[in-house]
Structure 1
């Protein structure tokens, strides 16, 4: 039993650290977005796509039979850090379009046409950067590269689909600073 006991304690320590870092990262993002948009609702709504991406990546890990290791335990915090940028940009552009007089459908459409392209280019550039990890001699580093790329892809999809859907369904007031009723365009 010595090795099994050490392995068990290491796994428990990894899980505890993973849960703590994930909770801290999500709370930090909620606070950051609440401050940026001057609304706690922004923080809560903005965390939905990030939580979806993180849960999806851990679901994919389970489906692919990948274990949570010291290397993969870093994944959720890194994913949230990389994905929050997309979330802020989409919210910011929708807010900008709404405050220029557009209604929600038009603001979302214009946001996806403009900032959406930039976000896609940014995401794929970062994914290419992490793709160099595929050439590592260490299997853990290769799998980490794959998981980061998949995580970025999930954050991108979440930002471009979930945020517009959230905005269409709930029409959050923090995005419409001028307090205008929905206009045309």
Structure 2
């Protein structure tokens, strides 16, 4: 309105008459002001005021925000609060729109889907490892023991995101599925080596030492190279890309530490309380069922 008033003298007079407190905002006879605005510059008026069959239906209120999508979870509620103020006594309705609010709404839906998918993936991993270790090593409970620490990996990665202030965006939400794959991969290597050592006649301590120092050393090299490669993404001057690199590094390091610090304890408890042993008969490809 101020722009059109500066260019159209007739509308400027209507605009000034409706502004009783000289603050540059009309506060009476708004319908007449809108009529005059449409008469002066209908193309400009249509961009901000919706008129249907001569009746005014809605207004478009725009504002500029110096934020990015990584801050949408903090900004979107403030926009909703502003919309609530505009609704006032309930005679009007106000809806926050734009990329920030749309992104936040989509993210809420995606998070629900990611959580469901992750739960299904975790259950599928546990079942798969139970079957695989039953066929390969003759022990279903060993498969359950190997898959157990993956739940801890997921929890630690989420905690790491909170501590490092890595925002939950569409990209990082989808990458949570990657955490499951990374976490279980290291556990499988350690668990399989442990089973092989037991089958060769070593006791549980000797088997753990061989698995941790042997296979664990290879996993350390893999973790350092992979994490180092993804860490270089932090050099890219884009928040979402930096978040991508950060969460992958956190997932890799966490999965490695859990496989070498937590899984050995789980395997030791399994070997003591399951009261089972893996003998050489399982090496022939014909497992000796035990549990």
Q: What is the TM-score when the length of structure 1 is the normalising length?
A: 0.85
1:176 maps to 277
Do residues 19 (structure 1) and 112 (structure 2) align? Answer: no
Equivalence map 1:1-185=2 (5 Å): 1-3=95-97, 6-38=102-134, 39-171=139-271, 176-178=277-279
Is there any run of 5+ residues in structure 1 with no aligned partner, and where? 181-185
- Distance in 1, Cα, partners of 2:276 & 2:160: 33
Between stretches 92-101 and 53-62, larger displacement belongs to: 53-62
1:183 maps to none
Tell me which structure has the larger Cα radius of gyration. Answer: 2
Deviation at 1:62, TM superposition (A): 1.9
Deviation at 1:156, TM superposition (A): 0.3
- Distance in 2, Cα, partners of 1:63 & 1:52: 16
- Distance in 1, Cα, partners of 2:109 & 2:205: 47
Q: State the structure with bigger RCO (CA 8 A, min sep 6), 1 or 2.
A: 1
CA contact (8 A) 2:182 2:251 kept: no
CA contact (8 A) 2:150 2:180 kept: yes
Q: Could you list the per-position Cα deviations for residues 25-78 of structure 1 after superposition, in whole angstroms to 9, with x for gaps in the alignment? A: 212321321222015434432232211111111112223333321011123210
Name the one with the larger helix percent: 1
Q: Could you list the per-position Cα deviations for residues 134-171 of structure 1 after superposition, in whole angstroms to 9, with x for gaps in the alignment? A: 23232111121011111110100100111110011221
Number of aligned residues? 180
- Distance in 1, Cα, partners of 2:165 & 2:275: 41
CA contact (8 A) 2:142 2:270 kept: no
- Distance in 2, Cα, partners of 1:79 & 1:92: 20
- Distance in 2, Cα, partners of 1:124 & 1:25: 26
Q: Could you list the per-position Cα deviations for residues 68-114 of structure 1 after superposition, in whole angstroms to 9, with x for gaps in the alignment? A: 21011123210111222211110011001111111111110111111
Is there any run of 5+ residues in structure 2 with no aligned partner, and where? 1-94, 282-291
CA root-mean-square deviation: 2.4
- Distance in 2, Cα, partners of 1:61 & 1:137: 19
**After TM superposition, where is structure 1 displaced by more than 3 Å over at least 4 residues in a row?**
4-8, 172-176
- Distance in 1, Cα, partners of 2:104 & 2:216: 44
